[in-house]
């Protein structure tokens, strides 16, 4: 009995030491600094809880019980409630039903898989930081894709421009916004490049230079709320689509086909970009570009389950533009 007790205590000590090493590396990797020793200890406790969640989930993944795995990300020192507060897509005050629905030729053949990244129209993964500006990154991603397809220009566009200048259209900087609001702002005014108007991750006074607008929008469309319709839009050479999703369970995603036990199709809290779709074994998936840096997920992307009852709401708030 004494031997078993000593062994158990030894394993606990080794586990704690391993947690401490992972914590130290986490702070270095993500530039974490805390206000006080007490604050850091509280964050370390949360980090340890998330480590146990990762271990338990990944054991199921290894046994074939889950289709995706988890890993330590920049959000590993946050509780699930804190992470939800970080997400900042607004509820639609002006429903997509008010927009023109994009019609796709039903006779066009839709391939089994498609990826706009292989077409060279998707730019690098960006990082919104601690600002709730996901909506602006989703919008610029869609615009960048359209600009590459229509004008063969591969120019990174300014999220900060949208944050600072589209408040009268209903957006609220780091506190949330909508991609369609951003599109209507650009339709009326245009948008500067990232180089001209760099990202700062906080709301500032509008400094838009109308003389250096990169593009102009002709029309803003919504996509019919069905996965077949979204697939057709993505695959019919129309471009990456701005979408809203329920990302409440995204925080520790590492890879694989994301299919959580609980995910809303109507309570959407994060703006992302659908750039393609495919199939992994028995699971159809969407290829979705995020804005949390290339270290999150699969090089900044997530594969979201497809043809599974609009899981996480990927077709509930989908929009795209056409350019002049």
| CATH number, residue 242 | 3.90.70.10
pLDDT band at 309 (very low <50, low <70, confident <90, very high): very high
Query: Are 232 and 128 within one domain?
Result: yes
Where among 66, 91, 121 does a domain terminate? 66
Query: Are 116 and 16 within one domain?
Result: no
- Cβ burial, residue 270 (10 Å; 0-12/13-18/19+): buried
**The CA-based dihedral angle spanning residues 270, 274, 279, 281, taken in that order and rounded to the nearest 10 degrees:** -20
CA distance 100 to 252: 36
CA distance 313 to 230: 12
pLDDT exceeds 60 at position 42: yes
206-226 burial, b for 16+ CB within 10 Å, e for fewer? Answer: eebeeeebbbebeebbbbbbe
> For residue 68, what pLDDT is reported?
98
Query: Are 13 and 52 within one domain?
Result: yes
> For residue 97, what pLDDT is reported?
45
Catalytic residue check, 270: yes
Query: Are 286 and 174 within one domain?
Result: yes
The catalytic residue among 131, 134, 263, 312 is: 134
Global pTM value: 0.92
**Higher pLDDT residue, 11 or 122?**
122
> For residue 12, what pLDDT is reported?
40
Where among 31, 66, 101 does a domain terminate? 66
pLDDT band at 17 (very low <50, low <70, confident <90, very high): low
Query: Are 166 and 303 within one domain?
Result: yes
Query: Are 253 and 149 within one domain?
Result: yes
pLDDT band at 255 (very low <50, low <70, confident <90, very high): very high
pLDDT band at 272 (very low <50, low <70, confident <90, very high): very high
Mean pLDDT, residues 69-94 taken together: 87
For 104, the token pair is 């796709």
> pLDDT, tens digit, for every residue of 188-245?
999 999 999 999 999 999 999 999 999 999 999 999 999 999 999 998 778 999 999 9
Which residues are registered as beta bridge partners of 272? 243
Provide the residue range defining the domain that includes 104: 81-323
Query: Are 95 and 39 within one domain?
Result: no
CA distance 21 to 261: 31
Half-sphere exposure of 73 (CA within 13 A, CB side): 26
Helix (H), strand (E) at residue 272:
strand 270-280
Query: Are 220 and 120 within one domain?
Result: yes
Which residues are registered as beta bridge partners of 280? 283
Query: Are 38 and 169 within one domain?
Result: no
The catalytic residue among 172, 259, 290, 310 is: 290
Query: In the chain, how many H helices and how many E strands?
Result: 7, 10
Mean pLDDT, residues 97-111 taken together: 80
Number of structural domains in the chain: 2
Catalytic residue check, 134: yes
pLDDT exceeds 60 at position 27: yes
> For residue 91, what pLDDT is reported?
64
Query: Are 168 and 278 within one domain?
Result: yes
């Amino acid at each position: 009995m004494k031997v078993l007790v000593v062994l158990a205590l030894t394993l606990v000590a080794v586990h704690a030491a391993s947690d401490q090493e992972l914590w130290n590396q986490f702070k270095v990797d993500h530039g974490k600094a805390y206000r006080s020793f007490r604050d850091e200890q509280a964050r370390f406790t949360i980090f340890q809880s998330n480590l146990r969640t990762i271990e338990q989930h990944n054991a199921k993944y290894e046994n074939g019980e889950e289709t995706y795995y988890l890993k330590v990300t920049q959000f590993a020192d946050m509780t699930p409630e804190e992470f939800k507060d970080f997400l900042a897509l607004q509820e639609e005050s002006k429903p997509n039903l008010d927009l023109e629905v994009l019609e796709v030729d039903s006779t066009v053949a839709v391939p089994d898989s498609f990826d706009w990244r292989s077409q060279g129209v998707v730019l690098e993964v960006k990082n919104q930081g601690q600002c709730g500006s996901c909506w602006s990154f989703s919008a610029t991603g869609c615009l960048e894709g359209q600009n590459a397809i229509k004008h063969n220009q591969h120019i990174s566009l300014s999220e900060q421009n949208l944050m600072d200048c589209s408040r009268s259209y209903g957006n609220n900087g780091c506190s949330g916004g909508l991609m369609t609001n951003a599109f209507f702002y650009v339709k009326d005014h245009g948008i500067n490049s990232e180089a001209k108007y760099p990202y700062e991750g906080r709301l500032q006074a509008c400094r838009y230079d109308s003389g250096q607008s990169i593009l102009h929008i002709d029309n803003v469309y919504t996509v019919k709320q069905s996965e077949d319709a979204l697939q057709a839009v993505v695959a019919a050479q129309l471009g990456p689509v701005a979408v809203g999703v329920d990302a409440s369970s995204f925080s520790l995603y590492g890879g694989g086909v994301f299919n959580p036990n609980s995910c809303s199709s109507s309570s959407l809290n994060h703006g992302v970009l659908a750039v393609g779709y495919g199939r992994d074994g028995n699971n159809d998936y969407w290829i979705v570009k995020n804005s949390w840096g290339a270290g999150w997920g699969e090089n900044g992307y997530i594969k979201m389950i497809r043809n599974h009852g609009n899981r996480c709401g990927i077709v509930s708030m989908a929009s795209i533009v056409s350019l002049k």
